Structure 1
Amino acid sequence: MSQQPISLPAKLINGGIAGIVGVTCVFPIDLAKTRLQNQRPGQQVYKSMVDCLVKTVRSEGYFGMYRGAAVNLTLVTPEKAIKLAANDFFRQQLSKDGKGLTVLKEMLAGCGAGMCQVVITTPMEMLKIQLQDAGRLAAQRKPVVVCSSKLVSGPMLSRSYNVAAAPTALSATQIARKLLHTQGIQGLYRGLGATIMRDVPFSVIYFPLFANLNRLGKPSPEQSAPFYWAFVSGGLAGSAAAVAVNPCDVVKTRLQSMSKATNEETYSGVMDCIRKILRKEGASAFLKGAGCRALVIAPLFGIAQVMYFVGVGEYIVENSPLRLLSPP
C-alpha cells in the first residue's frame, strides 16, 4: 500500500473520482454482461458482447448503452470510497503489532471491505439491473397482432388491428419508489445474500493479489510503485477476481431481475437459483458474461488504484476547504 498516510476525506475523493471515471468508460460492457447473463437457452437475443452492443445501438440508440448509468454514477462514489477506505482501515488495524501483513490478514482485510460495501452495492445493482435488462426484454416481446375482418356495405373491406402496448419505461427513482411502497426497504436489498457471496470473495482475492503484484513493482521497500504499475496491478487483480466470482454474479443478476420474459424461470432464493441453472442450462451458464465482467473490472480497478496511490484526493483536500477535515 501507499507509504504515506492518506486522510479519510482524500480516500473518499479518490474512490469517488475513480468510480465515476471507470463507470463512464466501461458501462456499455457492463450492460452487455447483464443482458448476456440473463439470457436463457432458446431465448438468445444476443450472440456475444459485440453483437449485444451493436443491436443495442441499432434499437435503442447510442445512449441505450448507458441505461442505468445514472444510478451507478450516483452511488459508485460512496461504494468505491467505502471499499477502498475500509480495506485500508482494516489493514492498519491488523498491522498494529508492527509486523507486515500476512496473506491471511490481507484476506481478512479484504473480507471486511467487502462486507462494508454491500450496504451501497446491493440497492445500486438492484436498480441498475432493471434498467440495463429492459432492452433485452423489449427485444424478446413480439407485438401480438389480432386481425379481424368484416364485410361492410360497399366494396371496401374494413380491418381493425389490436397491437399489444409496449411496457412503459420506468426511471430508477420510480422503480425505487415502487419497491419501497410494495416491499419496504427489503425490496431494495433483494439479492443481498448473493451480493455478499460475490463481493466478499472478490475482495478477499483482489486486495491481497493487488498488494503483492504492486509490491513487485517497488524500486525498494521504502518507495511506492510507479503509477502505471499500480494500474496494471489493479487491472490484473481485478480481472482475476472478477472471473473467479462470476458464478456468484450470474446468480445475483438472476435474483435481482424483477421483470421476466415469457416462460423465463423465477427463483425463490440462492440455492433454488443454483439448482435450476444447473438443471436447465448446465454448469457453463455460470460463466456467462465472464469476459465482459473482466473487461469491466480491469480498467475500473486500475483507474481506482492510480487515483488512490497518485494522491489526487490529497491534492484536492490540501487545496480546498476540505483541508479542515484532515487531521493535523
Structure 2
Amino acid sequence: MQTSKNFMFHDFLAGFIGGASSVVVGHPLDTVKTRLQAGQGYKNTLHCVLTIYKKETVMGFFKGMSFPLASITIYNSAVFGFFSNTQRFISKYRYGDGRHPNSMLDLTVASMLTGLMSVSLGAPVDLVKIRLQMQTQAVLAENLHLAGSGSNGTNFPLRSIEMPNQRLYRGPIHCISSILQTEGLQGLYRGAGAMVLRDIPGYALYFIPYTIFCDLLKPDATSNPHPCSIWVAGGLAGSISWVTATPADVVKSRMQADTGLQRKYKGILHCIIHSYKTEGAQVFFRGVSVNAIRGFPMSATMFLGYELSLRYFSGL
C-alpha cells in the first residue's frame, strides 16, 4: 500500500470507499438542493420534496445517481489522497519529517491546493449530475425556447407547456456525448470558475474544522479519535463547509443547469448580477437549509469510511 515515505496509495483507496458511502447517503438531498438552486416553481424545501415525490416517486430523488456513484467515488479518492499526501509533503519540506503534525497554516495551504485540484475532476462530474437531476418526466417548453398562444390570441406562460416522453439525456454517457457534440470540451467545464470560488475556501472550511473537532473530542493528544467522534466531527465540518459555500454553489448550479441554444447567463458576473436583480440577495442562500442538513450525514459518512478504511489498511 505504501509506495514511499511521503506518498501513500492507501489514502486514495480509503477516499474511494468513503466517497461511495457518502454518495448513497447524500444524493437524495443533493437532488433537492439542485432543484431548489437551479429550478423554478418551488416555494421551499418541503414543497420541493413533495413535488418530486408526487411527480416522480421515490426514484426521482435518486435521479442521476449512477454517474456520481461511479465518478464521485473516484473524485473523493483523488481529493482525500491528494490532501493527505500534500500534508505529508509540506511537513517533509518544512520540518524534515513527513509525520510531523501540521500547523494551521499547513492545513490551510493543503486544503486550498486540494480545492484547486478538485475542480479539474469535479467540474465535469457536477455538470453531468446536475443536467441529469434537472430532467423531469417531461421537457418544459420553456427550456426548449418555444412560444405560443391560445386560439383566442392570448399568450400563455411558456412554463405551462409540457411535451411528455421527451428527455434530453438518456443517461450519463449520452449526456457527456451530447455536451461534447453541442458545446465542445469546454462545455464540460461550464461553471468551473464558480466551482473554484466555491471549493478553494470550501475545502479549507472542510478539513480544518474536522481536524479541530477531532482534536477536541479525543480523550488525549496521543490516542486515535473514537468512531463516534469522527462521525460528529465530519458531520459538523460538512455542514459548516456547505453552508458557507452555498452562494458560490448557487451560481455554479445555475450556470451548469443553463442549457439550450440561447444561454441565460454569459458568465459568472452576469449570473450573479442577473440573479440578484431578478430574485434579490436571498437567491444566493437558496438551498442553504438543505446543504446544512445534507452536509452532516454525507460528510460524517465520508470521514468515517475514510478513517476506518485507513485503520484497516494500516493493520495489513
TM-score (norm. length: structure 1): 0.81
Residue aligning to 2:240: 240
Matches within 5 A, 1:1-328: 8-39=8-39, 44-96=40-92, 97=95, 98=97, 100-135=101-136, 138=139, 165-166=163-164, 167-170=166-169, 171-259=171-259, 266-311=264-309, 314-315=312-313, 318=316
Q: RMSD value over aligned CA atoms?
A: 2.9
Alpha-carbon deviation of 1:145?
9.2
Post-superposition, which runs of at least 4 consecutive aligned residues in structure 1 deviate over 3 A?
5-9, 136-148, 163-167, 312-318
Q: In the superposition, relative to structure 1, how do residues 229 and 216 fare at CA in structure 2: closer, same or farther (>3 Å)?
A: same
Matched position secondary structure for 1:165: strand
Q: Within 1, Cα distance between the matches of 2:137 and 2:211?
A: 39
Counterpart Cα distance in 2 of 1:181 and 1:81: 29
**Contact 2:202–2:241 (8 Å) recurs in 1:** yes
**Percent of aligned positions that are identical:** 26
Per the TM alignment, residue 288 of structure 1 is displaced from its structure 2 partner at its CA by 0.3
Tell me how far 1:180 sits from its aligned partner. 1.3
Uncovered stretches (5+) of structure 2, i.e. residues with no partner: 153-160
Give TM-score, length-normalised by structure 2.
0.84
Residues in 2 aligned to 1:207 and 1:189: alpha-carbon distance in whole angstroms: 25
Q: Once the 2 structures are TM-superposed, how far is the Cα of residue 10 of structure 1 from its aligned partner? A: 2.6
Q: Distance in 1 between matches of 2:313 and 2:286?
A: 41
Q: Determine helix, strand or coil for the equivalent of 2:264.
A: coil
Q: 1:254 to 1:164 in 2, by over 3 A?
A: closer
- The Cα of 1:132 is off from its aligned counterpart by 0.9
Report the alpha carbon displacement of residue 175 of structure 1 after superposing the two structures with TM. 1.5
Unaligned runs of at least 5 residues, structure 1:
149-162, 319-328
Specify the code of the residue in structure 2 equivalent to 1:91.
Answer: Q
Rg larger in structure: 1
State how far apart, in whole Å, the 2-side matches of 1:107 and 1:250 are. Answer: 24
Structure with the bigger RCO (C-alpha within 8 Å, sep 6+) is 1
